[in-house]
Structure 1
Amino acid sequence: MNVLLNRKIGFIGGGNIAQAIMNGLIIQGFPREQICVTESTESIRKVLQEKDISLFTNSADMLYWVDVVILCVEASELVDTLKPLKNLFKEKLLISVVPSATISILAQLTNTYNIVRVMPNIPALVQTGAHGVFALDTVSEADQQLSSKIFAVTGLCIWVKSEEELDAVTAISGSGPAYFFYMMESMIRAGKNMGLDEKTASALTLQTALGAAQMAISSGFSPAELRKQVVVPHGVTEAALQVFDRESISQSIQTALATAQKRSQTLAQGLSESTKSSS
């Protein structure tokens, strides 16, 4: 945290991910008076005011004050947000969590290559996020470490070797919470179908998900090895897993994630084309 203490951090956009980072920083002792935001949505502004976060009325003014800029807007807002700010990012570290916005697109809109891309996920809200991170070699080691420290307050940071790998990160961890929520929904529904009330089915499902994840993280065994420890030949668990195999659940999951990766690539291409046409 020491490397952060003399930095001023500004957020363009104050939604869920931005608030997760702010909360994590403050919990870790970062001075809230060194955090500021520009946000146009009134309901979000009220939430930020309640957190005693400084609000700027426009991003241009904020950029003169901060050292680090964290871009947290929707991809559809990217061009309109950055066009008026193009030449204001000199000597700033720009960290973007905007899906589909490649470094090439961001550099075109900001006139800087001192950019770190992060693909976060929503469990950052409870400090258990899983973030994929990438930067070009033009970003200094110090700024890369600074980026890691900022996002480490909300969970795990994994640096990938190429920007293209962020599409896989998007498919696995960016969208991943929804897959697990889908599985939980299905298990709760199954529990109710078997006669459990919803409260009981929910409690058992959620605690089981938590326990399985914790075992996978801390046991030192792979998920495949842990699965084998639960399965008894000709037993209850094996009977259920045989249904998964008959229905090709594993292959369906792999196909679904590959489809998500492809969609991420397509959205990036579309954003690139629209950015060029608006220049």
Structure 2
Amino acid sequence: MSQSPVIAFIGAGNMARAIIGGLLENGFAAADLWASEPDTERLQDLAERGLNVTSDNRAAVAAADIVVLAVKPQVMKAVVTDLASAVQSRQPLMVSIAAGISLDALDRWLGGEIALVRCMPNTPSLVQTGASGLFANSRVSAEQRQQATTVLEAVGIALWVQSEAELDAVTAISGSGPAYYFLMMEAMTAAGVKLGLSEETARGLTLQTALGAARMASNSEVNPTELRRRVTSPNGTTERAIKTFQAEGFDALVENALTACRDRSVELAGELCQD
């Protein structure tokens, strides 16, 4: 990034540190990064990597062009309300990675007329294979959108959605999605043991197969439906398994689970954004 903006992280938990690590690996200067965090051990670790560190959120905001809000949703109101005067004075781009906190609530708590981006990263961001959905309010410029994209692409892919409501669907697909795959891995490993494999062998085969399937789907020019067709020989072993999944209502089960996740995301937003 030419003329790199100064980025301040309010909160230095796992996700914030993953993004910081990704930015550093992508050539971002540590001197252009700030982290504000009450945990002295986390600050010491980041200071050793060359970051500017502080326990004073307002001091971090005063230095920043972009502020990444990386605190827990339950404390977000208190944190941003305390930051309102500093934000109004500096007018940085505010990027929230907290689930369930609406742009309208953030804008109210910060005093209004603030450029805000809300995004939903997921836990694979911790290993630079994350997937994030982003949405900006009308005060975010094209340059600021690109800056937000750069920040989130440091840990994976960053895709913009057309409405804030779509972030609840993002939560259902990618935000909570890693747990669905972990559940499938658990079930396949357990089934493999029941079929006579050792747990170590069943787990190893399951994890490598999941990795391989994801890599094939990511690198292929055709969609997963076609990939599945290509490995499903008529009247073969794979077809027997697929038909068993389908007979048990696999598609409907997935849809119902994701809908329930989306609905809970909406409910939580209502609870968290009350004045």
Work out whether the TM-score is over 0.5. Answer: yes
Instruction: With the length of structure 2 as denominator, give the TM-score of the two structures.
Output: 0.94
Alignment-derived partner of residue 259 in structure 2 = 258
SS in structure 2 at match of 1:86: helix
- For residues 76 and 187 of structure 2, the distance between their equivalents in structure 1, rounded to whole angstroms, comes to 36
Alignment-derived partner of residue 73 in structure 1 = 71
Quote the offset at 1:137 in angstroms: 2.4
Q: Is the 8 A contact 2:115 2:138 kept in 1?
A: no
CA shift digits 1:185-240 (9 cap, x unpaired): 11111111112122221221111111111111121111111111111122111111
Q: Is the 8 A contact 2:93 2:114 kept in 1?
A: no
- For residues 39 and 171 of structure 2, the distance between their equivalents in structure 1, rounded to whole angstroms, comes to 26
**1:185-224 matched pairs, under 5 angstroms:** 185-224=186-225
- For residues 133 and 11 of structure 2, the distance between their equivalents in structure 1, rounded to whole angstroms, comes to 20
- For residues 17 and 121 of structure 1, the distance between their equivalents in structure 2, rounded to whole angstroms, comes to 9
**1:157-176 matched pairs, under 5 angstroms:** 157-176=158-177
SS in structure 1 at match of 2:87: coil
Alignment-derived partner of residue 100 in structure 1 = 100
- Correspondence for 2:12 among 14, 24, 41: 14
- For residues 56 and 134 of structure 1, the distance between their equivalents in structure 2, rounded to whole angstroms, comes to 29
1:57 aligns with 2:58: no
- For residues 40 and 190 of structure 2, the distance between their equivalents in structure 1, rounded to whole angstroms, comes to 38
Instruction: With the length of structure 1 as denominator, give the TM-score of the two structures.
Output: 0.93
**1:109-128 matched pairs, under 5 angstroms:** 109-111=109-111, 112-128=113-129
AA paired with 1:74?
K
Aligned length: 272
Q: Is the 8 A contact 1:88 1:110 kept in 2?
A: no
CA shift digits 1:41-66 (9 cap, x unpaired): 34534543454433212101111111
Mark the runs of 5 or more structure 2 residues left unpaired by the alignment: none
Task: Label 1:228 to 1:150 Cα distance change in 2 as closer, same or farther (>3 A).
Answer: same
- For residues 256 and 46 of structure 2, the distance between their equivalents in structure 1, rounded to whole angstroms, comes to 40
AA paired with 2:17?
Q
SS in structure 2 at match of 1:62: helix
Quote the offset at 1:116 in angstroms: 0.6
CA shift digits 1:27-49 (9 cap, x unpaired): 01111122111112345345434
AA paired with 1:28?
N
Aligned-CA RMSD value: 1.4
Quote the offset at 1:117 in angstroms: 0.7
